[in-house]
A and B are shown apart, each in its own frame.
Chain A
Amino acid sequence: MKALKVSRSVPRLGIARVASAISPITATKLGPLRYGSVDEPELPGPGWQRVRTRLAGICGSDLSLVEGHASLYFEDWVSFPFVPGHEVVGELDDGTRVILEPVLGHEARGFAPPFDGAAPGDGDDYAHLATGHLEPGIQTGFCCSTGGGWAPEFVAHETQLHRIADDMPDERAVLVEPFAGGIHAALLAAPTVAARQDTSTPAIVAVLGAGTMGLAAIAGLRRYVPDVRIIVGARYPHQRQFAKEFGADVVVAPDELPRAVRRAAGCHMVGDHLSSGAHVTIDAVGTSDTVAGCLRITRPRGRVVLLGMPADVTLDLTGLWHRETELKGAYTYGTEHLPDGRTARTFDLAIETANELRAERLLSATYPLSDHVDAIAHAATAGRRGAVKIAFDMRKEDR
């Protein structure tokens, strides 16, 4: 079958990194991603199913890979060559439509789950991600044993599949995975919000960035974290509009975010830091500048949630040390403990949220795999082109 594939090529990664500064099209053409024939992956064993891709989204982490910006950290956690694509809605052999929960968890890799009913992302030992009967890979789309969503077909373990209702359109379903990521980040705000001393006014949660993940975090905060005032820094007008519709209380340009948070907190600005600030700040971008910016607007003993994949950043952490700020990663999803006492799978919350908000509104354009250069260029410049999510559409692909 014809698919997109990433090979280990240090020169190509280097070229892509340089070229991405000029143009995402050039980076895609010269980088490690190739469109060509690949073999259909074998079913690794019992419990595995063949999934025919219908739609597969292009995520920020995919872009950083294609553009050569991914961290060396992943060297030992992925296996080349692999087919990217982890935001997937597909179809099983019997015609059932499914959403992929991409983490290759314990059971998929032949290990006992960390607890009964655990989700693929649960657990506090990641040894299984690099061992077992599959090649290393943190999730589908980074593992050479399973294939990925940027191909007409891949394999997935039963524990990774969520069957969806007939009335859920593919265009909505493909947004469930990023929604789960955003909701997970939102729920990471909940403990800090609940532990605050002054509960006479809502807790302030700032969100920097309003691409797909930022918007999903806003939706998660509004739906699942009570008593919060959500202040969003969004760069583009359509992002601001979505942020408001998804539940933000205040939406400003990113460079106005510190002042907006200061106003809400009623605090001082001392140098470039707020004297107090947001109880929690969610960084949905993940650059040195945005992480540093989030640290500056988060109150002492507050929490900064890193939702956007930060890769290699340079930071002055004196403020973090002095303010005892908590820096919290928000990679994925699993089993969530909600502020109202419920326990739920993040994906179930994401499906619920995507249905409620008609998430298909965020899917701006789809491309066939063969137009991957244009698709990736569109995704890399989505904000300024008025788009949010770009996806590959394989419903008409030859299989």
Chain B
Amino acid sequence: MPRPGFVLDVDKSTPPTLFWHGEGFRLEKLPADRSRVIYAPEPHDAIDDVDGAIRTSLLNPIDMDPLPSLLFPGMKLTIAFDDVSLPLPKMRRPDLRQRIIEQVLTMAAEAGVDDVHLIAALALHRRMHEFELRHALGDRVYDAFEPRGLLYQHDAEDPDELAFLGTTDQGEEIEINKRAAESDLLVYVNINLVAMDGGWKSTAVGLASYRSLRHHHNPTTMEASHSFMDQHASELHKSTWRMGKVMRDHGPKVFQIETTLNTDTFPQPFEFLSKREWEWSAKDRALYLGAAKSLAKTPPRLARKIFHGIEAPHQMTSIQCGEVEAVHKVTTQNVYDQQLVEVEGQTDILTMGIPYICPYNVHSIMNPILVMCTALGYFFNLYRGKPLVREGGVVILTHPTTNEFHPVHHPSYIDFFEEVLADTKDPHVMSQKWEQQYAEDDWYRHLYRTTNAYHGVHPFYMWYWGSHALKHVGKVIIVGGDPATVRKLGFTPASTMNDAFEIASDTVGRSPTITHIKTPPLMIADVK
């Protein structure tokens, strides 16, 4: 029986707490009697017969007819799927997308459907590399569809391949992939890693263009999303759901397939990362020491390669398909069941260790913008109810935060860092002054369409993702980061955790309460 999440009150006998530090770790001793550490629930049991569960679900959807009955000869069938940003880390082969799509294709073939397109729903993310597509879909699907041009990636900048579906009652435009829009049936294959994923966000975001996305990917909407993990308190989701209504009325019939994963995140020899420190065995301690010491001597590029090579053992805990909203309701509950941890009250200081990966640097570099987004956009938002840190409190994160960018994946990020952040850190100001220039830059557009670059506007979205946190907290401190880079982000550098607490005392006093959110593995703090 997996244990639920746990909040540890730190006392003098508590061993040091493991913090992620990019492609490395730190052990930090948190002050006794006023610190607490939140641990994620242990992984729920996985479904033993995954293929059987998929088939059962496809034949017994929620609020829709079984998939085979929706398939008929001569129809246009489009299967869209989550891109490389999910799951994290990448899962062991076979990936769930492969297992699901193979069954959908089998049913389509049995129904005589011969017009099938597979589309990676990457919105403004970078195009996936071939090896990433093969990993997600399997060689058989890739080799059958890609050479014939039937497996491709959504291009949000191809005006000939976009369809305008209408506007919401609040004037939000919905423009999505034309093939998907004109299909008789759009099957969406999702992997729900956090409660934010899935629902109408899959299609209304994943297959959309900048024209659509700008209506919710903006500072005003992001700032009013409290949090992204709570659909009913998230303006982002409300906007997406309004768009979903337009899609339901004017778009294709959508057959939504959502899956949830357990929190079994790290394989051997990194299992100690998922354990609570006081329960570390001698072997765990030896593995930690070995890993920490060898990583400290490993060149960053090699360390990055090692970590990005990790394939997580996480497994499917549920699958549900059918009508989008009905399906997503069940999915969200399943995510909550796995990830929620009850936490009593807010804290003065929230600490977090930023790992080597986030959704936007798979097989890539965690650049400074993504450090900000992971900390203030993702980890800050891992709550339901109230933010873990009180208004005016301090966030302390650990990460090397070097001035390093992947030139192919993140070209506009480099300019954003050099030009936009030199001008302003205010999401609203940059949105007004700079966003359009980056969104319409012809070179970024070219790189997004023809290489593996994120769209020109993407770094803005990353910054906006942290809008609520930027407004909410009084100070952000990065421990162990490159000072010049940290300052350019608008944050305060500190060389040690004790220095960071000292710096934080200007904002929260000499005896603040401290909460460390020990993630990954993923969790959501249910703050009372």
Binding site for B on A (CB under 8 A): 252, 256, 259-260, 262-263, 266-269, 275
Contacts and interface: CB of A to CB of B under 8 A. Distances in A.
B143 interface: no
B46 interface: no
23 contacts: A252-B418, A256-B418, A259-B414, A259-B415, A259-B418, A259-B419, A260-B418, A260-B419, A262-B443, A263-B415, A263-B419, A263-B437, A263-B441, A266-B441, A266-B442, A266-B443, A267-B442, A267-B443, A268-B442, A268-B443, A268-B446, A269-B443, A275-B443
**Chain B interface main SS type:** helix
- Chain A to chain B: the 8 pairs with minimum beta-carbon distance, closest first: A268-B443, A256-B418, A259-B415, A263-B415, A263-B419, A259-B418, A268-B446, A269-B443
Contacts of B414: 259
Interface string B408-438: 0000001100110000000000000000010
**Chain A interface main SS type:** mixed
Given A259-B418, A259-B419, 14 more contacts: A252-B418, A256-B418, A259-B414, A259-B415, A260-B418, A260-B419, A262-B443, A263-B419, A266-B441, A266-B442, A267-B442, A267-B443, A268-B443, A268-B446
Nearest to B438: A263
A389 B243 CA distance: 63
Nearest to A250: B419
Contacts of B419: 259-260, 263
Contacts of A259: 414-415, 418-419
A347 to B, nearest CB: 37
Interface of B: 414-415, 418-419, 437, 441-443, 446
Nearest to B418: A256
B391 to A, nearest CB: 35
A275 B447 CA distance: 14
A140 B304 CA distance: 59
Nearest to B411: A269
A130 B418 CA distance: 50
Nearest to A267: B443
A266 B442 CA distance: 7
Contacts of A267: 442-443
Contacts of B446: 268
Contacts of B441: 263, 266
Contacts of A275: 443
Q: Name the residue among B414, B419, B437, B442 with the largest chain A CB count within 10 angstroms.
A: B419
A260 B419 CA distance: 8
Nearest to A274: B443
A143 to B, nearest CB: 46
A268 B153 CA distance: 23
A262 B443 CA distance: 9
A336 to B, nearest CB: 34
B417 to A, nearest CB: 10
Nearest to B440: A266
Contacts of A266: 441-443
B484 to A, nearest CB: 11
Contacts of A260: 418-419
A268 B451 CA distance: 13
A266 B415 CA distance: 12
Contacts of B415: 259, 263
A262 B411 CA distance: 12
A259 B443 CA distance: 11
Contacts of B443: 262, 266-269, 275
A263 B418 CA distance: 11
A260 B441 CA distance: 13
A275 B419 CA distance: 20
Nearest to A268: B443
Nearest to A259: B415
A213 B317 CA distance: 68
A201 to B, nearest CB: 13
A322 B352 CA distance: 53
A267 B415 CA distance: 13
A181 to B, nearest CB: 30
Nearest to B444: A268
B486 to A, nearest CB: 17
B7 to A, nearest CB: 45
A275 B441 CA distance: 14
B433 to A, nearest CB: 13
Contacts of B418: 252, 256, 259-260
B113 to A, nearest CB: 42
Contacts of B437: 263
A259 B420 CA distance: 13
Contacts of A252: 418
Contacts of B442: 266-268
B236 to A, nearest CB: 29
Contacts of A263: 415, 419, 437, 441
Nearest to A275: B443
B420 to A, nearest CB: 10
Nearest to A253: B418
B452 to A, nearest CB: 15
A275 B442 CA distance: 12
A146 B418 CA distance: 50
A332 B29 CA distance: 65
A254 B437 CA distance: 23
Q: Name the residue among A262, A263, A267, A269 with the largest chain B CB count within 10 angstroms.
A: A263
A259 B411 CA distance: 10
Nearest to A252: B418
Nearest to A255: B418
B444 to A, nearest CB: 9
A275 B446 CA distance: 13
B217 to A, nearest CB: 22
A275 B414 CA distance: 18
A243 to B, nearest CB: 14
A252 B437 CA distance: 19
Contacts of A269: 443
A387 B446 CA distance: 43
Nearest to B417: A256
B414 to A, nearest CB: 6
B407 to A, nearest CB: 10
A255 to B, nearest CB: 10
A269 B412 CA distance: 12
A215 B418 CA distance: 22
A274 to B, nearest CB: 9
A9 to B, nearest CB: 44
Nearest to A251: B422
Nearest to A264: B419
Q: Name the residue among B415, B437, B441, B443 with the largest chain A CB count within 10 angstroms.
A: B443
A267 B442 CA distance: 7
A256 B419 CA distance: 10
A339 B410 CA distance: 42
Nearest to B445: A268
A320 to B, nearest CB: 22
A242 to B, nearest CB: 17
A204 to B, nearest CB: 15
A104 to B, nearest CB: 45
B125 to A, nearest CB: 21
B119 to A, nearest CB: 27
A22 B280 CA distance: 53
A324 to B, nearest CB: 22
Nearest to B419: A263
A259 B414 CA distance: 9
A256 B418 CA distance: 8
A252 B446 CA distance: 25
A267 B446 CA distance: 11
A297 to B, nearest CB: 14
Contacts of A262: 443
A252 B415 CA distance: 11
A262 B437 CA distance: 12
A141 B419 CA distance: 43
